[in-house]
Structure 1
């Protein structure tokens, strides 16, 4: 009578062909993919540059952009150019241009901001207020494709 044994997955017979396990590889061998992250605004966004999570800065290691393009998810095609600073300690900051973006989108103390990296240095975002309810926007001019940050009001938060 043949003896049977269970594999770590609980299936199969022992002694046959040394097959491979159907278990996924351990997390340390998987590629690091950071497509989404969030920040909570603890300091005045009009005074302080905003720090992204360290893991996102690590993800961009070697391809550190000088600027990124921010877009509110529901605010038309308008992209906001924001300069990026890296401090050499794996920290990335949204700097010049962030203030105009924050004003136009009602970003304030206590806001929760969800970012999604779309590639090509584009980040789409959703803003949630201090009650954790999402802020929605509409654009005065959906057809404008002007990438100028001179006007600080392409999106308006309905009251």
Structure 2
């Protein structure tokens, strides 16, 4: 049996200018743009609590960059599976691209058992709302339920926390 050797060819090359999807000369390309030119979409991120859980918390710089030009003065935290309650938390920007959860974070952290070694997962829902899941030091998720007597007209100074099931 006779063997024939073939020289590998690439599609789109040597077929003339502007012809086919990979043709040269027309400036078009079938390849996606490089990652640096794609718009950055940050929907989920986490922080690990290594220092005092009750002081302001830095959020990832990429998330702050994502909000560039739309920096909110406040965000609203919603504990996953803890009812519709939104916790108002003031946001600080340091002028160097860092974003921090500030006033209001302490109340949220106490009510949801955020402590040293916790892993706190955030999901950006839009409209300055972040849904939060808290995992303890064993990497197991903490679950909560809300008190049925909780009312919407309650002030942030009179915090009624979610209660951990027994």
TM range (shorter): 0.7 to 0.9
TM-score scaled to structure 1, two decimals? 0.82
Partner Cα separation in structure 2 for residue 63 and residue 3 of structure 1: 66
Seen in structure 2, the aligned counterparts of structure 1 residues 105 and 13 have a Cα distance that, compared at 3 Å, is: closer
- More off after superposition, 93-102 vs 7-16: 7-16
Seen in structure 2, the aligned counterparts of structure 1 residues 83 and 132 have a Cα distance that, compared at 3 Å, is: same
**Which of residues 102, 124, 130 is equivalent to 1:123?**
130
Q: Matched residue of 2:160: which SS?
A: coil
Seen in structure 2, the aligned counterparts of structure 1 residues 138 and 54 have a Cα distance that, compared at 3 Å, is: same
- More off after superposition, 38-47 vs 9-18: 9-18
Seen in structure 2, the aligned counterparts of structure 1 residues 70 and 12 have a Cα distance that, compared at 3 Å, is: same
RMSD of equivalent CA atoms: 4.9
Partner Cα separation in structure 1 for residue 65 and residue 21 of structure 2: 43
Partner Cα separation in structure 1 for residue 33 and residue 4 of structure 2: 26
Q: Deviations over 1:118-156 (max 9, x none)?
A: 111100010000000000000112873346323333311
Seen in structure 2, the aligned counterparts of structure 1 residues 80 and 4 have a Cα distance that, compared at 3 Å, is: farther
Paired residues of 2:21 and 2:30 also in contact (CA < 8 A): no
Seen in structure 2, the aligned counterparts of structure 1 residues 15 and 59 have a Cα distance that, compared at 3 Å, is: closer
Seen in structure 2, the aligned counterparts of structure 1 residues 106 and 12 have a Cα distance that, compared at 3 Å, is: same
Seen in structure 2, the aligned counterparts of structure 1 residues 120 and 13 have a Cα distance that, compared at 3 Å, is: closer
Runs of 4+ in 1 over 6 A off after TM superposition: 1-20
**Displacement after TM superposition at 1:74 (Å):** 0.6
**Displacement after TM superposition at 1:46 (Å):** 1.6
Partner Cα separation in structure 2 for residue 132 and residue 140 of structure 1: 25
Runs of at least 5 residues in structure 1 that lack an aligned partner in the other structure: none
Choose 1 or 2 for highest CA Rg: 2
User: Which of structures 1 and 2 has the larger relative contact order (alpha carbons within 8 angstroms, sep 6+)?
Assistant: 1
Partner Cα separation in structure 1 for residue 53 and residue 42 of structure 2: 24
TM-score scaled to structure 2, two decimals? 0.79
Q: Deviations over 1:90-144 (max 9, x none)?
A: 0000000000000000000100000011111100010000000000000112873
